[in-house]
Amino acid sequence: MRILANYGYKNNGDTYSVTFETMGDVPKEHADALVDELFALAKGAIERQISGQAGPVKEHEEIPIPKPIPSEQPQDKKNGNDKPRLKDPDAPATKKQKSFIAKLAKERGQFIENLNSLTMQEASQVIDELMTVSV
């Protein structure tokens, strides 16, 4: 079980909110005590902010961001339309694609011929076309 404890407080038009989350699974028998502890921590953090007793804030602290591996850059996996490239566009359409096409076609009053002979690329194009048809 994962636990999120969110505590919020409004004071003279200012809104304060803090959320704590457990990492990993929490046994059911420890959940109540952990929830109480997380809320107490959250409430204490907000009280420190309101009273001005919070620790100093480091401004503009640089966080190192790892550089992507060149073969995994987003543009390498996309086809320019924010859609993933098909690994094998000439492979037969997947069962999921065919089911989705059938559902869309039925909703839009369309009939798709040769559904079982579509390739993955063709199925993707049919889905795009059906998505543009208004219901």
Report the alpha-carbon angle 119-122-125, nearest 5: 150
Q: What is the pLDDT of residues 16-58, one digit of tens each?
A: 888 877 777 778 888 888 888 888 888 888 888 878 777 666 6
Does 76 have pLDDT greater than 70?
no
Q: What are phi and psi of 52, to 5 degrees?
A: 80, 10
Percent pLDDT > 70 in the chain is: 75
For 113, which DSSP code?
A: T
Average pLDDT on 96-122 reads 88
pLDDT (0 to 100) of residue 68:
62
Number of other CB atoms surrounding residue 122 within 10 Å: 17
Question: CA 24 to CA 22: how far, in whole Å?
Answer: 6
Q: Is residue 5 very low, low, confident or very high in pLDDT (cuts 50, 70, 90)?
A: confident
pTM across the whole model:
0.40
Does 111 have pLDDT greater than 50?
yes
Return all residues near 5 (Cβ < 8 A) that are at least 6 apart: 19, 20, 21, 35, 38, 39, 41, 42
pLDDT averaged over the chain? 77
Secondary structure of residue 15 in the 3-state scheme? strand
pLDDT (0 to 100) of residue 108:
83
At 120, list the tokens: 């993955």
Question: CA 66 to CA 57: how far, in whole Å?
Answer: 24
